[in-house]
A and B are shown apart, each in its own frame.
Chain A
Amino acid sequence: AQSVTQPDIHITVSEGASLELRCNYSYGATPYLFWYVQSPGQGLQLLLKYFSGDTLVQGIKGFEAEFKRSQSSFNLRKPSVHWSDAAEYFCAVTSGTYKYIFGTGTRLKVLA
């Protein structure tokens, strides 16, 4: 069955520390992968996406993600977290059939 797993429900980091949010997928076809961020009371904003090519993709707000086919992973990283990064982060996958499958989300807390 197609699925997306975000193993960490909550993550807390100190401001300035590095961040890695995990995403694993199970998908029969070649996946298109996305990371979205949801700030409190807001909709989902696209951070970055991977369709093909270079497996390290750069996104907005200083985020990057690396696609590893052998590990079925698409982890999100940021070298130095800012207090404004506190939000919920969603990984999603689609094969281009327009139906996204979302992970359950990881809520990030940033300590001053």
Chain B
Amino acid sequence: DAGVIQSPRHEVTEMGQEVTLRCKPISGHDYLFWYRQTMMRGLELLIYFNNNVPIDDSGMPEDRFSAKMPNASFSTLKIQPSEPRDSAVYFCASKRGGADTQYFGPGTRLTVL
């Protein structure tokens, strides 16, 4: 199994630009989670999907953030416009329904200048 795949691994952009992070969950997993990790706040759940449908987006910081899951094998997290305070590592994780263990991708390190 390839595990959760995220791209890009590193992203450097300028304030005001649009940023799109991508995630491919493990095949057969029907839950997908987006997390953000910062020194100040640790690991925070931003949003999660079940069967491609957003279930809980209460962790999304503001309207500049949006996430989609057009099919079972692909999800995006978009930030528009980006700000320096968005700099963080963004993780995607997936799990199979009925199981409780989430499997994490390697993360995308985002730097907004």
Contact = CB atoms under 8 A, between A and B. Distances in A.
Interface of A: 32, 34, 36, 41-46, 49, 51, 90, 94, 96, 98-100, 102-105
Given A43-B105, A98-B48, A90 B43 contact: yes
26 contacts: A32-B100, A34-B101, A41-B106, A42-B107, A43-B4, A43-B91, A43-B105, A43-B106, A44-B91, A44-B93, A44-B104, A46-B101, A46-B103, A49-B100, A90-B43, A96-B100, A98-B33, A98-B50, A99-B45, A99-B56, A100-B45, A100-B102, A102-B42, A102-B43, A104-B42, A105-B43
Nearest to A94: B100
Interface in B31-52: 31, 33, 42-43, 45, 48, 50
Interface of B: 4, 31, 33, 42-43, 45, 48, 50, 55-56, 91, 93, 95, 100-107
A63 to B, nearest CB: 15
A49 B42 contact: no
Nearest to A6: B42
A41 B9 CA distance: 10
A104 B41 CA distance: 8
Contacts of B102: 100
Contact of B100 (A45, A51, A105): A51
A43 B43 contact: no
Nearest to B97: A98
